[in-house]
Amino acid sequence: MMGEREEDDDNEEAWLQLRPKEPLPSQCCGSGCSPCVFDLYHQDLARWEAARASKDRSLLHGPESQSCPSKLNPKTFVAFCISAMDRLTKDTYRVRFALPGNSQLGLQPGQHLILRGIVDDLEIQRAYTPISPANAEGYFEVLIKCYQMGLMSRYVESWRAGAIAFWRGPFGDFFYKPNQYGELLMLAAGTGLAPMVPILQSITDNENDETFVTLVGCFKTFESIYLKTFLQDQARFWNVRTFFVLSQESSPERLPWSYQEKTRFGRLGQDLIKELVSCCRRKPFALVCGSAEFTKDIARCLLCAGLTEDSYFLF
């Protein structure tokens, strides 16, 4: 009897060691992804409880993983190799990741991925939107801003070409269709520009897409504007206009002449939003991306400008 009890205790301890560990708050990126890291935990926990009840460890294993080592998966982190890393500003990088052969990442324009990092034995996860074209072959690129006290920033700044990073996805509920809207009013602050880039490029790459685009980028200074060459090239298309709002500049004479007429100073507020909406060439659908505070303020301004809640999307 004693031997049987000890064996049961050993089995119980073994099962407890196999119990999934609940994620830390830092492991959730906070972007509302589905499945979230906590969703995956509860799925694993239910699988563990079923396996423990039936005393069948084979039930602990989920579906077989994809055979392709670089095939995106929303539930499982997949390894991608860094092929290039360019510093765009003092705190922002454009990072290119290699894909096998001429394969494509498989995202819709504007969808995002979750990056996993480990710093001081703490796992962290953050959401980033690729800025490369949705049909890019053999690579994808992301725009990442680093913060002085950010844990993920420490991880990113340790990257070098040839390093490996782990991503899962895709996520995101906005799916652009050509000619779906008369005009897109894109309102972006800082790296909130990221989801706008592939959507804009998908429009200008498609000669049959006649959607008008008004893109407004909000930055602190002229030097901090990302992807200037890309935005200048896009503004040459007949259906694209770009504007900038600089919060820490005040003199148009200090800007290149090509930026002077399309730059405002201060912050993007209600009066400017009303002006932008009224000068749209067709009925606009607004896309908004930036900090939580920026997104909340712009949504309020859009409503005041006469747009309804089904006339904008908040990334």
Domain count, the chain: 2
Write down the pTM of the prediction. 0.79
Last residue of a domain, one of 171, 197, 221: 171
279 and 231 assigned to the same domain:
yes
Last residue of a domain, one of 126, 148, 171: 171
The answer to whether residue 198 sits within a structural domain is: yes
The answer to whether residue 66 sits within a structural domain is: no
Q: Checking DSSP bridges between strand 122-128 and strand 112-119, what pairing results, if any?
A: antiparallel
Could you tell me which residues are annotated as the binding site for FAD?
126, 128, 143, 145, 152-153
Residue-level pLDDT, tens digit, the chain, 315 residues: 544 444 554 577 776 766 766 666 655 656 666 666 666 666 666 665 677 777 777 666 654 434 344 578 898 999 999 999 999 999 999 999 999 989 999 999 999 999 999 888 888 999 999 999 999 999 999 999 999 888 999 999 999 999 999 999 999 999 999 999 999 999 999 999 999 999 999 999 999 999 999 999 999 999 999 999 999 999 999 999 999 999 999 999 999 999 999 999 999 999 999 999 999 999 999 999 999 999 999 999 999 999 999 999 999
pLDDT of residue 48: 57
Can you say whether the dihedral through the CA atoms of 7, 8, 13, 18 is positive or negative?
Answer: positive
CATH number of the domain encompassing residue 107: 2.40.30.10
Could you tell me which residues are annotated as the binding site?
126, 128, 143, 145, 152-153
pLDDT of residue 56: 72
The structure tokens 């699988």 sit at 47
198 and 254 assigned to the same domain:
yes
Domain hosting residue 123, numbered range: 78-171
Last residue of a domain, one of 171, 205, 237: 171
The answer to whether residue 225 sits within a structural domain is: yes
214 and 240 assigned to the same domain:
yes
